Every structure is written in C-alpha cells, then in structure tokens.
C-alpha cells in the first residue's frame, strides 16, 4: 500500500499590511522620542528587540514566514500587543511602498501617518473575503478613500486574490456618452489589468445588448480565467450620476451581478467576484429599489478625524500638542483628514500654530492651494456657487438634495438638523471673503 501524500505544510506567519503599518508607526514615534529623530539602524533594532539582524530583515521584508513568538517580541519592544489582524498565515509576498510626503495623495501601505478609523478598515477587509461581496465606500473628497482601498487591495493580494482597481475618471466623455462603449471599455480595462488578451470582438454580441454582453464576458472569460477570487474596485462612480440613463443601466447590471453571486452553489462563478464601489456623494439617481446596488451589501462611510485621532496623528509627527492646541486644530479644519495631515506636517517643520491660524486666508497660507482648488470647483458649477453662498451667509441653509449632496461630496458642508453649514472654520473664513453677499 502506498503512503498517503503529505502536502507541504505552510509554517509560520507574515506581517499583514495593518501589522506592518502599526509597527512602522511605533518605530517612527520611538525614533523621534529616543533616537533624535533618526530612523533606527538594523543593529539598533536588534539590540532593542533582542532579535537577530537576519530575523529582523526577514520580518520586515514580509516574504518569508517567521514564528508568531518572533512577531510578539518585535511588537512588545515598541509597547505594542500583537493582534490576529497583524499577521497572516500564508507564505505570500507582500509589497511595500514609501511615502515621500505624508500629506500628499494616497498614503503608502507602510506609512506611519495612516490613522485607522475603526471599525471601517476591519469591516472592509472581512467583507472582501466573502463570496460575492459588495462593499460601498462613501466619503467626501480627500477623506482617505483611496488609502483605505489600497489597504484592501494589499490585504487581498496577501491572500492571492486577483485585484483590479479602476477609476472611472479614466473614461473620457466620449466613452461616457454611450452605454455600449462604456461597458466595452470596462471589459477591456479589466482584462488588461489581469494580463489577459482582449477577446471582446469574438465574445461581444450586440444583438443581446451591452449589459448582457458585458455580463457574459465576465461570466465566461474574466472570472473563470483563474480559480482565485477577483476583487474589482470601481472608484469615482459618482461621475456616472451626471449620466442618468447610462448610470441607471450600469448600476442595475452591478446589482444583477451581486444577486447572481448570492446563490449558494459553490459552482456559481459569480461567487468569485468581490465588488467595491467608491463614491464621494450621496446617490441622487432615480434608481429602482430592486435594481440599485446602493441599498445592498456593506456601506462604509469614512468619518472626520476625532480630536483623539488628531492627537494620535500629532504624536506620529513627533509633536507634543496640548489639549488646547488639538482643540484649535480640530476647530480650524473640523477633523478633515487631508487638512489635518497638512496642518500637522507644517507644525512639524516647525511652523507655529498661531502663524498658521493667523494666515489661513492669505496668499501664503499653507491652505491656499487647497482653497483655490475648492473655489475652482465651485466656479465650474454656478448652481453650487449659489448654494455655497447661501450656506456661508446664513445660520443654516436648506438646500435642494442634488446641490446639498455635491457640496457635501466636496467636503465643504456638513449638516445640522438637515441644514447645511460650513464643515469647518477654515471654509467659513475663506468663503466669506471670496463669496460676498
């Protein structure tokens, strides 16, 4: 009798994206407080953790597994407790990136300046692991949606998923003017991201309509191309809100995909699809309740930073801010993630907080570029300009839904008892000057 085969066992663990970020943040803070702001050398880390330089290199590269006790020792050296979300148990490589400027655009996976906003991250990561998942991420511009998505993608890659991040900003107006063109573009872009040849001409049948042909392309070609799940992230989908007919048909198709994947059969190919929809405004399309993907799945709304999170971020910049200073920063920018990062970055240069506050609306303000961009967006839409004028020069304006949603999507307003108000002191001061009565 032959001996049963014994598949190779996967031993040890690897740092997850979240664990690596936590460790980097702790090292960064410790270096500021204990090493005159200089990054620790490998020899210094070895002395502090009591781990060999070779072991530390293996942990930090995240390509070869180590035992869990090693990670626990590394974390404990920086006063951290290792949690189950800080490591994975598969022998898979995980790439890291550097962040040249912590407040510009997407924060790198290993950036110590990324602030977790529980339970958003954990819910997203857990949902993406479920068959036929549908996750909707909603937040105003520059609220960290792209940085959160990057962590989802990295987490999925840790588990050997196929990942396709696709921003609809890449579709020009010609493509967005026709549903068939748009769906063909979607299929080509996904195939290209997966490294698959374009078979659209052979597989597309115009007699059945664009939605059917697109669905068939996914079902018979893109999804079965590998046995691994496919995480498809559609960013900036709010662009389609300006194309009501196209948007209604497209979102109806996405809802149909989700419903097909809900069937319990393990042979159902749609269970391989994990769909993430990212947008900055409320949905103001008149979608049928049973055809909308915006009332199913998991909704994640990214909030403003709390004062405690601003304090945590300040410490990562090496700042020792008093409670009163944190309160001033929070009042000025309202916990807006990007504006908070921008403020703390300049405080760490160092630039006095009093000077930043005194010059918020001057041409040499650290906020000048951001404020001009926001004003430029209003200039492109006279309706939004009028709405913002109402908000600024009243104690609370009741705006039409479409207008209110768009201003909220820009991060310019928040709501108190359904009345729109400037979302922070900075916006009130600036727009009071540039939008006179």
Contact between 17 and 155 (Cβ < 8 Å): yes
Same domain, 357 and 282: no
Same domain, 148 and 250: yes
Would residue 109 count as lying in a domain? no
Which pLDDT value is given to residue 406? 93
Q: Is the peptide bond before 119 cis (omega within 30 degrees of 0)?
A: yes
Same domain, 290 and 312: no
Domain end position, chosen among 266, 301, 336: 301
Same domain, 295 and 332: no
Q: Three-class SS string for 79-93?
A: CCCCCHHHEECCCCC
Q: Is the pLDDT of residue 159 over 70?
A: yes
Residue 287 binned pLDDT confidence (cut-offs 50, 70, 90): confident
Which pLDDT value is given to residue 11? 52
Same domain, 363 and 237: no
Residue 112 binned pLDDT confidence (cut-offs 50, 70, 90): confident
Q: Taking the CA of residue 87 as centre, how many other CA atoms within 13 Å lie in the half-sphere pointing to its CB?
A: 24
Give the pTM.
0.79
Same domain, 289 and 372: no
Would residue 42 count as lying in a domain? yes
Helix (H) or strand (E) holding 406: helix 401-409
Q: What percent of the chain has pLDDT over 90?
A: 66
How many domains does the chain fold into? 3
Give the residue, 179 or 205, on which the prediction is more confident: 179
Residue 65 binned pLDDT confidence (cut-offs 50, 70, 90): confident
> What domain range is 261 assigned to?
120-301
Helix (H) or strand (E) holding 146: helix 145-158
> Mean pLDDT in the chain?
89
Would residue 97 count as lying in a domain? no
Q: Three-class SS string for 244-283?
A: HHHHHHHHHHHHHHHHHHCCCCCCCHHHHEEEEEEECCCC
Kindly list the distances between the CA atom of residue 14 and the CA atoms of 121, 151, 301, 405, in Å, as whole numbers in the listed order.
19, 16, 30, 42
DSSP class of 225? G
Q: Which of 27-36, 83-92, 258-267 has the lowest mean pLDDT?
A: 83-92
Domain end position, chosen among 265, 284, 301: 301
Same domain, 331 and 188: no
Which pLDDT value is given to residue 193? 97
Contact between 85 and 18 (Cβ < 8 Å): yes
Would residue 379 count as lying in a domain? yes
Domain end position, chosen among 301, 318, 346: 301
Would residue 250 count as lying in a domain? yes
Same domain, 155 and 284: yes
Region of residue 318 (left: phi > 0; alpha: psi -120 to 50; beta: else): left
Which pLDDT value is given to residue 94? 34
pLDDT in tens, 75-97: 999 999 998 888 876 433 333 33
Would residue 356 count as lying in a domain? yes
Same domain, 243 and 144: yes
Which pLDDT value is given to residue 395? 79
Residue 2 binned pLDDT confidence (cut-offs 50, 70, 90): very low
What is the rounded average pLDDT of the residues 23-38?
A: 87
Same domain, 180 and 67: no
Give the residue, 218 or 54, on which the prediction is more confident: 218
Same domain, 273 and 316: no
Q: Is the pLDDT of residue 28 over 90?
A: no
Give the residue, 8 or 30, on which the prediction is more confident: 30
Which pLDDT value is given to residue 250? 97
Contact between 212 and 145 (Cβ < 8 Å): no
Kindly list the distances between the CA atom of residue 53 and the CA atoms of 38, 60, 77, in Å, as whole numbers in the listed order.
18, 10, 15
pLDDT in tens, 3-13: 333 333 345 78
Q: Is the pLDDT of residue 418 over 90?
A: no
pLDDT in tens, 307-365: 999 998 998 888 989 999 999 999 999 999 999 999 999 999 999 999 999 999 999 99
Task: Report the CATH number that the domain containing residue 21 is assigned in CATH.
Answer: 1.10.260
Same domain, 165 and 281: yes
Would residue 107 count as lying in a domain? no
Contacts of 338 (CB under 8 A, 6+ apart): 103, 142, 143, 144, 370
Contact between 233 and 202 (Cβ < 8 Å): no
Kindly list the distances between the CA atom of residue 358 and the CA atoms of 162, 314, 338, 366, in Å, as whole numbers in the listed order.
49, 20, 20, 11
Would residue 363 count as lying in a domain? yes
- 234, β-bridge pairs: 166, 277
């Amino acid at each position: 009798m032959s001996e049963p085969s014994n598949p190779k066992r996967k031993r040890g663990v690897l740092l997850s994206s979240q664990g690596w970020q936590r460790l980097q943040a702790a090292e960064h803070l410790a270096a500021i407080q204990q090493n005159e702001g200089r990054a620790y050398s490998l020899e210094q880390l070895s002395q502090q953790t009591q781990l060999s330089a070779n072991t530390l290199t293996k942990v930090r590269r995240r390509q070869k597994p180590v035992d869990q006790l090693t990670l626990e020792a590394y974390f404990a050296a920086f006063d951290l407790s290792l949690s189950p979300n800080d490591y994975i148990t598969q022998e898979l490589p995980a790439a890291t990136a550097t962040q040249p400027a912590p407040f510009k655009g997407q924060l790198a996976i290993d950036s110590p300046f990324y602030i977790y906003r529980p339970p958003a991250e954990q819910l997203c990561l857990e949902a993406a692991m479920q068959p036929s998942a549908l996750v909707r991420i909603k937040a105003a511009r520059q609220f960290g949606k792209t940085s959160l998505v990057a962590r989802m993608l990295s987490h999925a890659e840790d588990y050997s998923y196929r990942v396709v991040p696709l921003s609809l900003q890449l579709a020009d107006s010609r493509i967005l003017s026709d549903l068939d063109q748009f769906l063909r573009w979607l299929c080509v872009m996904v195939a290209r991201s997966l490294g698959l040849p374009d078979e659209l001409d052979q597989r597309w049948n115009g007699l059945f309509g664009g939605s059917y042909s697109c669905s068939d392309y996914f079902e018979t070609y893109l999804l079965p191309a590998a046995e691994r799940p496919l995480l498809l992230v559609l960013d900036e989908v709010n662009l389609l809100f300006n194309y009501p007919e196209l948007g209604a048909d497209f979102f109806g198709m996405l809802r149909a995909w989700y419903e097909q994947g809900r069937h319990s059969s393990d042979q159902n190919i749609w269970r391989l699809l994990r769909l993430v929809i990212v947008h900055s405004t409320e949905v103001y399309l008149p979608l049928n309740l049973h055809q909308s993907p915006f009332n199913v799945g998991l909704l994640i709304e990214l909030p403003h930073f709390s004062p405690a999170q601003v304090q945590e971020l300040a410490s990562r910049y090496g700042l020792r801010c008093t409670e009163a200073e944190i309160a001033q920063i929070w009042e000025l920018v309202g916990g807006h993630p990007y504006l908070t990062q921008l403020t703390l970055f300049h405080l760490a240069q160092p630039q006095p907080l009093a000077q930043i506050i005194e010059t918020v609306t001057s041409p040499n303000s650290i906020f000048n570029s951001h404020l001009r961009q926001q004003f430029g967006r209003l200039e492109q839409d006279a309706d939004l300009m009028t709405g913002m004028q109402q908000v600024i020069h009243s104690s609370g304006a009741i705006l039409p839904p479409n207008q209110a949603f768009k201003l909220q999507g820009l991060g310019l307003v928040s709501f108190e008892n359904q009345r729109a108000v400037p979302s922070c002191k900075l916006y009130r001061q600036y727009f009071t000057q540039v939008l006179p009565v």
